[in-house]
Amino acid sequence: MQRRTKVFHSGCKSAKLIYDMGVMDRRNFLGASAAGIAAGSAASAAHHEGETAQIFELRDYKLRNSKAGQNRRLQEFLEQEHLPMTKRVGISATGYFSQYLGEDGPRVYTLAAYDSMAHMGEVLEAKSADEAWTKAAAEFGADPQPPFDRVSSRLLRAFDGMKKIEPPKVADDKPGRLFDLRTYQAETFADLREKMNMFNSEEIEIFRKTGVNPLFFGETIVGDKMPNLTYVSYYDDMDARDKAWKAFGSHPDWIRIRSKPGWGNDDIVANVGNTHMKPLSFSPIR
């Protein structure tokens, strides 16, 4: 989903009309998302008893280097206003990242985890009622220089094989890790379901064995370039990443399952996108 950046001026009569970090009208949003959830649920295996798959929102802020200082201004706003708001309204987990390697930079990514669609709806209502947030967002949006060029958003449903986000333990004496944001596009929804089955049944476990540390896996239920899935993994540094993927590529279980009829890349993965990210200094997930 992409929206044209709106710049609101100080004379705006209603805080309800402020730039709200690209969030669409809640009723339309939840209606469209509920339809996607229903489709995703039908495509996936039954839930583990007593567990609900989390919902993730991943935002991609496209910036430009200029005298307007978009990158600095956006990061300051996220740290000083957005992060405190997420704690007040009860978002389950948040992450803030900058693009380390990837096309068309600079970019900033934000990640929010919700316990369910109902929880997400409650959070959106709480944001709307948060006076400190609406005031700060209105002031930020009133600047005549736009704070970013474009923002896109993906709504993801956690895989049945990993229903909850698993943030790494944060060590104060350790520098920020390297995070991989990877998206697998499929030719058909049937192919996507089969790739998800491959992850749920065996591939996620092989990741864990070989040091490809998963943060989350999610099926895209609202977003572009569908059908696709997205996952994020993390490593201490680039050397650790290279070591982990080498171990994964030579692991006998991976060699076995990739040779299974119908599970090869030519069968179920049409395109792969990969972006390396670094957590911002204030990111709770880092």
Residues 185-238: tens digit of each pLDDT: 999 999 999 999 999 999 999 999 999 999 999 999 999 999 999 999 999 999
Same fold, 2-157 and 178-279: yes
| Beta-carbon contacts of residue 48 (< 8 Å; ≥ 6 apart) | 160, 163
Asked whether the whole model's pTM tops 0.95, one would answer no
Residue with more model confidence, 103 or 198: 198
**Cα–Cα distances in angstroms (integers) from residue 175 to residues 101, 125, 172, 215, 241, in the given order:** 18, 36, 8, 17, 15
Tokens found for residue 128:
């709307």
232 φ/ψ angles, rounded to the nearest 5 degrees: -125, 130
Max Cα separation, the chain? 65
Lowest mean pLDDT among 114-118, 166-170, 201-205, 271-275: 166-170
Instruction: Work out whether strand 107-114 and strand 178-185 pair parallel, antiparallel, or are unpaired.
Output: unpaired
| Beta-carbon contacts of residue 271 (< 8 Å; ≥ 6 apart) | 184, 185
Q: Can you give 127-156 as a three-state secondary structure string?
A: HHHCHHHHHHHHHHHCCCCCCCCEEEEEEE
Alpha-carbon span 234 to 286, nearest angstrom:
9
Q: CATH for 178-279?
A: 3.30.70.100
Residues 64-88: tens digit of each pLDDT: 998 889 999 999 999 999 999 999 9
Residue 14 is predicted with a pLDDT of: 37
Given CATH 3.30.70.100, say whether it is the number of domain 2-157. Answer: yes
Residues 9-59: tens digit of each pLDDT: 333 433 333 334 444 444 444 444 444 433 444 444 444 456 899 999 999
Q: Which of 196, 137, 168 has its CA nearest to residue 283?
A: 168
Q: Which of 230, 239, 231 has its CA nearest to residue 178?
A: 239
10 φ/ψ angles, rounded to the nearest 5 degrees: -65, -20
Question: So where are the chain's domains?
Answer: 2-157, 178-279
